[in-house]
Amino acid sequence: MAAIALLAALVTPAAAEPDTKALERLVRQDCGSCHGLTLKGGLGPDIRPQALNHHDRDSLTTLILDGVPGTAMPPWRPLLSDEEAIWIADYLLNGAEE
């Protein structure tokens, strides 16, 4: 959790423009700690684009902000702004570069 808090400190003070480099690191390191470094699944499911067909940008943004109650998927609202969550949703849907 210390690493997450540190990343949050890097990510949140930015104004409207998301810090895409920091967000990309967050996806790889924090999301990747459960979903796998290449996002193809680990403790959490595969979240590469082909596995997210049942989501659109809005549903994915909400899921990232609120998490999945009753599972290990945490809510990221305390750490991410709406803009940052939307950026991550797009990043996941469009495919992170391998």
Cβ of 69: how many Cβ atoms within 10 Å? 7
Q: How far is the CB of 70 from ligand HEC (least distance, A)?
A: 8
Write out the residues near ligand HEC by the rule CB under 6 A: 27, 30-31, 33-35, 43-45, 47, 51-52, 60, 63-64, 68, 71-74, 76, 88
Which alpha helices (DSSP H) does the chain contain, by range? Answer: 2-11, 20-26, 32-35, 57-66, 82-94
Q: How far is the CB of 15 from ligand HEC (least distance, A)?
A: 20
Q: How far is the CB of 49 from ligand HEC (least distance, A)?
A: 11
Number of H helices, E strands in the chain: 5, 0
